[in-house]
Amino acid sequence: MDKPILYYGISGRLSRKMDQYIQISGGEPLLMIEKPEVVEEYRDRKLFDRYEVVTVDEALSRYPEPVIWVTFSKAINTARMLGKRVDPLDVHFFEADLEYRPGCSFLGHFISYRASNFSPCCIVSKYPSVKAEGTVEERLDQWKSFETKLLDDIRNDRPNGCMNCPHLVYDFWHKTVKLDTVNFGSCQPGDVCNYKCVYCFAEKFLNDPAKDKEGLTTYEVIEQLSQMPEYNTAELKLNISNGEFTANKDCDEVMDILLRMPWKASFLTNGSIYREKFAEFLKTGRALKVQISLDAGTRETYHKVKGLDTFDKVIDNIKRYELKNVEGFVLKYIFLEGLNDNEADVDGFVDTAAEVGCRKMTISSNLFKPFTPEMRTLVRRMIKRAADAGIRLQRNMNYVTKEDAAFMIDIAKEFDNLG
Ligand code: SF4
Ligand code: SF4
């Protein structure tokens, strides 16, 4: 027997679209569901003199196993709420581009862009990279075909590259493959860095003329992207975390494009170079995140970790950039055994963060090495001191073991400063 059809949500477009919706859902709704305050407005009347308006509780007490069609275009919260009350596969959408299936926060809209290949995410090293060639437009078409097939395989439970990934979970995800994030996370031709951090795993690729012979530079990729009308949209985000972008010879040209286009952008930087055009971009309010790797709390240790005696200069730059006005301004500390795992650096780091107006920090370990017992004591000290200074610990921690991440989350919860 067919399940009863109910609609969720009274929107302005409903009167105009009701006939079309009825055709799509294969029948008229038996009633409308809304929030209690809207239901109150319809206490003595029906919508269009025809449809009773009731709460979810009331609707489910009358029809425990319905099919629910959501009329809103922004419907993720409604979808998740309904998915907990009925079979999520029975929740459908007229306007929202959503479906219930296995997915992750990258699939279908994210490209990790590299000189000769790409990946659908940037957090799982096991994911095979997909060979790509041609212009940026051709490569993005290759990405689109790849993602479309991958999602189709996932939907139909066919073997696919994501199938054993722990990040693949059932939820309401976007139905349509549409690029919204271009991530530059590994070395492109022309990438450089002015530092020599002891923990750097990219150093051997940076400043290497051999890698610069073929392929497009970051600037050339971004320039081609800016010429494609499809991506002239405020929906597009760039993650610039390859090498030290402020040391790149094309940095100003890249900033000119970012200033001209409506895009948002996130940056990883060592903060050692002040660039007027980057400062200008920060003022647009379109910088989603600026993460600066400080990794020390004293000048001496900074020199040992970074290879340059520029601790004071970085702090001056942070103040000049007015980063305290950037919502996603984060300072990073990577624990390094025998180098910065001491109280003076831990306390100095938090004090410096407070001094420059930073409200968020992230903690990592060297290449996923578990924290030593001494580090765990220091991590606790750092999180507590940060809480006292109004600094929150970022919830997303990619470069620590699962156990250490859980350990830090518990401490931050205890001190009420989990970001
Ligand atoms: S490998 Fe995992 S994180 Fe990467 S795209 Fe697939 S499901 Fe997402
Ligand atoms: S600043 Fe970043 S890219 Fe440069 S050496 Fe240090 S870790 Fe490597």
Do 208 and 153 reside in the same domain of the chain? no
Do 330 and 407 reside in the same domain of the chain? yes
Do 82 and 107 reside in the same domain of the chain? no
The answer to whether the Cα torsion of 162, 166, 172, 177 is positive or negative is negative
Do 78 and 139 reside in the same domain of the chain? no
Quickly tell me which residue has 């991506």 as its tokens: 231
Residue 75 contacts residue 93 (beta carbons within 8 Å) = yes
Do 275 and 382 reside in the same domain of the chain? yes
For each of the chain's 419 residues, which pLDDT tens digit applies? 689 999 999 999 999 999 999 999 999 999 999 999 999 999 999 999 999 999 999 999 999 999 999 999 999 999 999 999 999 999 999 999 999 999 999 999 999 999 889 999 987 666 778 999 999 999 999 999 999 999 999 999 999 999 988 889 999 999 999 999 999 987 888 889 999 999 988 777 776 666 666 789 999 999 999 999 999 999 999 999 999 999 999 999 999 999 999 999 999 999 999 999 999 999 999 999 999 999 999 999 999 999 999 999 999 999 999 887 799 999 999 999 999 999 999 999 999 999 999 999 999 998 678 999 999 999 999 999 999 999 999 988 878 888 999 999 999 999 999 98
Residue nearest to atom 7 of ligand 2 (CA): 200
Residue 258 contacts residue 266 (beta carbons within 8 Å) = no
Do 70 and 150 reside in the same domain of the chain? no
DSSP annotation of 95: S
What is the distance in A from the centroid of ligand 1 to the CA of 249? Answer: 33
Angstrom distance (rounded) from CA 354 to CA 357: 5
Ligand 2 neighbourhood includes 348 CB (under 6 angstroms): no
What is the distance in A from the centroid of ligand 1 to the CA of 163? Answer: 8
Residue 226 contacts residue 198 (beta carbons within 8 Å) = no
Ligand 1 neighbourhood includes 38 CB (under 6 angstroms): no
When divided into structural domains, the chain yields a total of 3
Residue 223 lies in a domain: no
**By C-alpha distance, which of 239, 291, 240, 286 is closest to 263?**
286
The minimum-distance atom of ligand 2 relative to the CA of 196 is 5
Do 55 and 149 reside in the same domain of the chain? no
- Provide the 10 A C-beta neighbour count for residue 417: 21
Do 194 and 312 reside in the same domain of the chain? yes
Residue nearest to atom 8 of ligand 2 (CA): 200
Tokens of 43: 């206490």
Residue 377 lies in a domain: yes
Report helix, strand or coil for 62: helix
DSSP annotation of 355: H
Do 123 and 59 reside in the same domain of the chain? no
Residue 134 contacts residue 214 (beta carbons within 8 Å) = no
Asked which of 70, 96, 122 is the last residue of a domain, the reply is: 96
Residue 26 lies in a domain: yes
Residue 184 lies in a domain: no
**By C-alpha distance, which of 3, 50, 18 is closest to 31?**
50
**What does each C-alpha distance from 68 to 32, 34, 72, 79, 93 come to in angstroms?**
10, 12, 12, 10, 8
Asked which of 64, 81, 96 is the last residue of a domain, the reply is: 96
Range of the domain at 138: 103-174
Ligand 2 neighbourhood includes 399 CB (under 6 angstroms): no
DSSP H or E stretch at residue 54: strand 53-54
Angstrom distance (rounded) from CA 314 to CA 293: 10
Angstrom distance (rounded) from CA 402 to CA 413: 16
Residue nearest to atom 8 of ligand 1 (CA): 104
Residue 224 lies in a domain: no
What is the distance in A from the centroid of ligand 2 to the CA of 89? Answer: 46
Ligand 1 neighbourhood includes 123 CB (under 6 angstroms): yes
**By C-alpha distance, which of 288, 284, 282, 212 is closest to 250?**
212
The minimum-distance atom of ligand 2 relative to the CA of 201 is 8
Residue 321 sits in a domain of what CATH number? 3.20.20.70
Q: What pLDDT shows up at residue 206? A: 75
Asked which of 80, 96, 112 is the last residue of a domain, the reply is: 96
Do 199 and 309 reside in the same domain of the chain? yes
Report helix, strand or coil for 67: strand
Residue nearest to atom 6 of ligand 2 (CA): 197
DSSP annotation of 246: G
Query: Ligand 2, from 199, 203, 332, 399: best to mutate by most atoms within 8 Å of Cβ?
Result: 203
DSSP H or E stretch at residue 268: strand 264-269
- Nearest-Å Rg of the Cα atoms of the chain is 25
Residue 179 lies in a domain: no
Residue 335 lies in a domain: yes
Ligand 2 neighbourhood includes 193 CB (under 6 angstroms): yes
Ligand 2 neighbourhood includes 131 CB (under 6 angstroms): no
Ligand 2 neighbourhood includes 198 CB (under 6 angstroms): no
Do 52 and 116 reside in the same domain of the chain? no
What is the distance in A from the centroid of ligand 1 to the CA of 306? Answer: 32
**What does each C-alpha distance from 144 to 176, 345, 357 come to in angstroms?**
10, 46, 41
Do 358 and 286 reside in the same domain of the chain? yes
Residue 415 contacts residue 383 (beta carbons within 8 Å) = yes
Q: What pLDDT shows up at residue 123? A: 76
Report helix, strand or coil for 204: coil
Residue 183 lies in a domain: no
Ligand 1 neighbourhood includes 127 CB (under 6 angstroms): yes
